[in-house]
Amino acid sequence: MEGNSTNLDAAIESLLNVEKQMRLAGDVAGTRKAAIDIVELCYKAGAWKTLNDQIVVLSKRRGQLKQAITAMVQKAMEYIDLTPDMDTRIELIKTLSSVSAGKIYVEIERARLIKRLAKIKEEQGQIDEAADLMQEVAVETFGSMAKTEKIAFILEQVRLCLDRQDYVRAQILSRKISPRVFDADPSKEKKKPKEGDNIVQEAPAEIPSLLELKRIYYELMIRYYSHNNDYLEICRCYKSIYEIPSIKEDPSKWIPVLRKICWYLVLAPHDPMQSSLLNATLEDKNLSEIPNFRLLLKQLVTMEVIQWTSLWEFFKDEYANEKNFLGGALGDKAAEDLKLRIIEHNILVVSKYYSRITLKRLADLLCLSLQEAEKHLSDMVNSKSLIAKIDRPMGVVCFRTAQDSNGILNSWAANLEKLLDLVEKSCHQIHKETMIHKAVLCLAFYGQILQSQDVKLFSAQASPVCFGNSCVNDLKYCSADALVLNMI
CATH number of the structural domain spanning residue 362: 1.10.10.10
Do 223 and 285 lie in one domain? The reply is: no
Do 162 and 210 lie in one domain? The reply is: yes
Give the pLDDT of residue 476. Answer: 38
Do 144 and 212 lie in one domain? The reply is: yes
User: Residue 211 half-sphere exposure, CB side, CA atoms within 13 Å?
Assistant: 11
Question: Does 418 reside within a domain?
Answer: no
Do 135 and 243 lie in one domain? The reply is: no
Do 169 and 75 lie in one domain? The reply is: no
Domain finish residue from 413, 443, 460: 413
**Total tally of structural domains belonging to the chain:** 4
Do 337 and 361 lie in one domain? The reply is: no
Domain finish residue from 387, 413, 439: 413
Question: Does 196 reside within a domain?
Answer: no
355-360 own/partner pairs: CB under 8 Å, 24+ apart: 355/398, 355/399, 355/400, 356/396, 356/397, 356/398, 356/399, 357/396, 357/397, 357/399, 358/395, 358/396, 358/397, 359/390, 359/395, 359/396, 359/397, 360/395
Do 347 and 245 lie in one domain? The reply is: yes
Residue type, 153: F
Do 138 and 172 lie in one domain? The reply is: yes
Question: Does 143 reside within a domain?
Answer: yes
46-54 own/partner pairs: CB under 8 Å, 24+ apart: 46/84, 47/5, 47/8, 48/83, 48/84, 48/88, 48/91, 48/92, 50/8, 50/12, 51/76, 51/79, 51/92, 52/91, 52/92, 52/95, 54/12
User: What's the whole-model pTM score?
Assistant: 0.75
72: domain range?
1-103
Do 209 and 314 lie in one domain? The reply is: no
Give the pLDDT of residue 185. Answer: 64
Question: Does 114 reside within a domain?
Answer: no
The Cβ of residue 129 has, within 10 Å, a number of other Cβ atoms equal to 16
Domain finish residue from 413, 430, 455: 413
Question: Does 112 reside within a domain?
Answer: no
Question: Does 433 reside within a domain?
Answer: no
Give the pLDDT of residue 5. Answer: 64
Give the pLDDT of residue 151. Answer: 92
Give the pLDDT of residue 216. Answer: 93
* DSSP label at residue 386: -
Give the pLDDT of residue 119. Answer: 92
pLDDT, mean over the chain: 82
* Phi/psi at 47 (5° precision): -90, 85
* DSSP label at residue 201: P
Do 10 and 75 lie in one domain? The reply is: yes
Cβ proximity of 190 and 197 under 8 Å: no
d(CA 226, CA 213): 20
Low-confidence ranges of the chain (pLDDT < 70): 1-5, 185-198, 324-329, 402-403, 450-488
Instruction: List Cα–Cα distances, 205 to 141, 208, 209, 291, in angstroms.
Output: 22, 8, 10, 42
User: Residue 481 half-sphere exposure, CB side, CA atoms within 13 Å?
Assistant: 2
Do 245 and 219 lie in one domain? The reply is: no
Question: Does 473 reside within a domain?
Answer: no
Do 20 and 85 lie in one domain? The reply is: yes
Give the pLDDT of residue 118. Answer: 92
Question: Does 485 reside within a domain?
Answer: no
185-205 pLDDT, tens digit each: 655 545 555 544 557 777 777
